[in-house]
Amino acid sequence: MYHVNLIEQFDRGVEEMGREVSESCVESLVTEIVSSYCNGFYADKPELAARRIEAIGFQVGHQLSERYTMDRPRFTDHLEAIKFICKDFWSEVFKKQIDNLKTNHRGTFVLQDNRFRWLSRMSVDPSIETLGSIQDPSAMAENKAAQAIGMHLYFPCGIIRGALSNLGIPCAVSADISNLPACSFVIRIKA
Amino acid sequence: MAPVAPRSGDVIFANVERVNAELFTLTYGAIVRQLLTDLEEVDEVNKQLDQMGYNIGVRLIDEFLAKSNVSRCVDFKETAEVIAKVGLKMFLGITATVTNWDVEGTTCSLILEDNPLVDFVELPDTCQGLNYCSILSGVVRGALEMVSMKTEVTWLRDMLRGDDAFELQLKLLKRVPEEYPYKDDE
């Protein structure tokens, strides 16, 4: 994995914010998405719940990316698009940039947020730290807390996948919380 | 003497963590869209949105009380004013006008001057009957229940359905005696 420098320029970020709402509003919605799908209609089917939560995120990411790129030229390559996600996009959604970007230069990118906002208010069971990657929802079934966090992360994974899909880049996105409170998002671009 | 309830939520809103409203609006829109796909029946979607709102209200009341310094309201009129000027402002950055009081002082309407839930939203014909803003009525009902007021909260006018304003009716059904808050699932 090669490290990519993200601090070469500060385009937007400080731009005037439009309309705002309290952060609690967004957190409340995310919490309700997860609990409605995990405890409600798909209580016995975590895989289906995960897919729905991811789909909601995808929709959001797709639309946000559309809005945020309206006035800019098309990205010339994958790395440019990923850098946009790490900087401008992340700043709009999470009010900070991605802290660390790595790539193998063969279509895999690892975006690390050292203090991921949507996990910072969740109480985290230390036993989860050994859990590592949260790729398999059924494997998490026995650990409720891990499952809750894992389910929460399907939403931002969907947002990233939706944003990149809007930029013409089909990919798979997973989250890795083996270094809490840091959270890494692994993007694998489909050839 | 009890502290006077703040007349406006401007200062509180300026001090809470805020995010850009697009994220909120689009997330809500994506939830409604997914529910329409999964639940198929518009009535079921309305119910689910209301339930989600209720759950949110039950939780948000704590943050509201902690940050607003609002103490017990003397009557339902004051409660409605606090929701319109402090509660809506603190979370959504908007305010409402309280109007249409009945003689008993138990039913009134909030006219929303603005509604971030519906930015970029247009309802297709297949969604007639969808109460798009059900989540907000649920939030108000859930929050009030946590401070001992059983209410019925209904949208009377909805600009998405062609009305000229957003009008949310609050009807106080009864005051329940103080007891340990429980979660009323069904």
Q: pLDDT digit string (tens) for A147-160?
A: 778 889 999 999 99
CB contact under 8 A, A67 and B22: yes
B18 at A interface, C-beta within 8 A: yes
Amino acid at B183: K
Q: Would you say residue A41 lies in a domain?
A: yes
Nearest CA in chain A to B91: A22
B14 at A interface, C-beta within 8 A: no
**Cβ of A111: how many Cβ atoms within 10 Å?**
25
Question: How many CA atoms does the CB half-sphere of A63 hold within 13 Å?
Answer: 16
Structural domain that includes position A35: 23-189
CA distance A59 to A175: 18
| Residue in the block written with tokens 């990149």 | A164
Query: Could you give all domains of chain B from N- to C-terminal order, each with its CATH number?
Result: 20-175 (3.30.1380.20)
| Residue A15 confidence (pLDDT) above 70 | no
Instruction: Give the CA radius of gyration of chain B.
Output: 16
DSSP B126: G
CB contact under 8 A, B38 and A24: no
A20 at B interface, C-beta within 8 A: yes
B35 vs chain A: nearest CA distance in angstroms? 9
A78 at B interface, C-beta within 8 A: no
Report how many domains make up chain A. 1
Instruction: Count Cβ–Cβ pairs < 8 Å, chain A vs chain B.
Output: 103
Nearest CA in chain B to A17: B20
B102 vs chain A: nearest CA distance in angstroms? 31
Q: Would you say residue A74 lies in a domain?
A: yes
A191 vs chain B: nearest CA distance in angstroms? 28
Any idea what the CATH number is for the domain that residue A35 is in? Answer: 3.30.1380.20
Using CB atoms within 10 Å of the CB of residue B14, give its burial: 0 to 12 exposed, 13 to 18 middle, 19+ buried: exposed
Among residues A159, A187, A122, A81, which one has the least CA distance to residue B22? A159
Mutant choice from A27, A32, A63, A152 vs B, greatest count of B C-beta within 10 A: A32
CA distance A166 to A146: 30
Mutant choice from B17, B23, B63 vs A, greatest count of A C-beta within 10 A: B23
CB contact under 8 A, B93 and A20: yes
Which percentage of chain A shows pLDDT scores above 90? 61
Q: Would you say residue A6 lies in a domain?
A: no
Output the average pLDDT for chain A.
85
CB contact under 8 A, A18 and B116: no
pLDDT of residue A160: 98
Q: Would you say residue A91 lies in a domain?
A: yes
pLDDT of residue A131: 46
Long-range contacts of residues A25-31, Cβ cutoff 8 Å, at least 24 apart: A25/B19, A25/B24, A25/B91, A25/B92, A26/B19, A26/B23, A26/B24, A26/B27, A27/A118, A27/A121, A28/B56, A28/B59, A28/B60, A29/B24, A29/B27, A29/B28, A29/B31, A29/B56, A30/A118, A30/A152, A30/A155, A30/B27, A31/B56, A31/B59
Q: Would you say residue A124 lies in a domain?
A: yes
- Bridge partners of A190, per DSSP, are none
Task: Tell me the pLDDT band of A25, cut-offs 50, 70 and 90.
Answer: very high
A52 contact residues in B (CB cutoff 8 A) = 34, 38
CB contact under 8 A, A26 and B18: no
pLDDT of residue B13: 93
B10 at A interface, C-beta within 8 A: no
| Residue in the block written with tokens 């698009």 | A81
- What are the C-alpha distances in Å from B135 to residues A56, B82, B118, B165? 17, 19, 12, 17
pLDDT of residue A181: 83
Asked whether the whole model's pTM tops 0.80, one would answer: yes
CA distance A57 to A119: 16
CA distance A79 to A91: 18
Q: Show Cβ contacts of residue B154 under 8 Å, excluding neighbours closer than 6 positions.
A: B137, B168, B169, B171
CA distance B160 to A63: 20
CB contact under 8 A, B26 and A60: yes
pLDDT of residue B6: 61
Q: Would you say residue A105 lies in a domain?
A: yes
Q: Would you say residue A5 lies in a domain?
A: no
Q: Is B49 left (phi over 0), alpha (psi -120 to 50) or beta?
A: alpha
| Residue A177 confidence (pLDDT) above 80 | yes
Query: Stretch A162-175: mean pLDDT, rounded?
Result: 97
B91 contact residues in A (CB cutoff 8 A) = 21-22, 24-25
Structure ipTM over 0.95, yes or no: no
| Residue A93 confidence (pLDDT) above 80 | yes
The helix (run of H) or strand (run of E) holding residue A22 is strand A20-22
Residue A110 · residue A178 · CB < 8 Å: no
CA distance A108 to A184: 13
Among residues B150, B78, B93, B100, which one has the least CA distance to residue A21? B93
B24 at A interface, C-beta within 8 A: yes
A26 at B interface, C-beta within 8 A: yes
pLDDT of residue A122: 65
| Residue A126 confidence (pLDDT) above 80 | no
Question: Per this entry, what is the length of chain A?
Answer: 191
Q: pLDDT digit string (tens) for A28-82?
A: 999 999 999 988 878 888 899 999 999 999 999 999 999 999 988 889 999 999 9
B166 vs chain A: nearest CA distance in angstroms? 18
pLDDT of residue A142: 53
Q: Would you say residue A87 lies in a domain?
A: yes
pLDDT of residue A40: 80
Residues of chain B with pLDDT under 70: 1-6, 178-186
A34 at B interface, C-beta within 8 A: no
B133 contact residues in A (CB cutoff 8 A) = none
Tokens of A5: 């420098």
pLDDT of residue A148: 77
- Bridge partners of A188, per DSSP, are A108, A172
A119/A184: higher pLDDT: A184
pLDDT of residue B179: 60
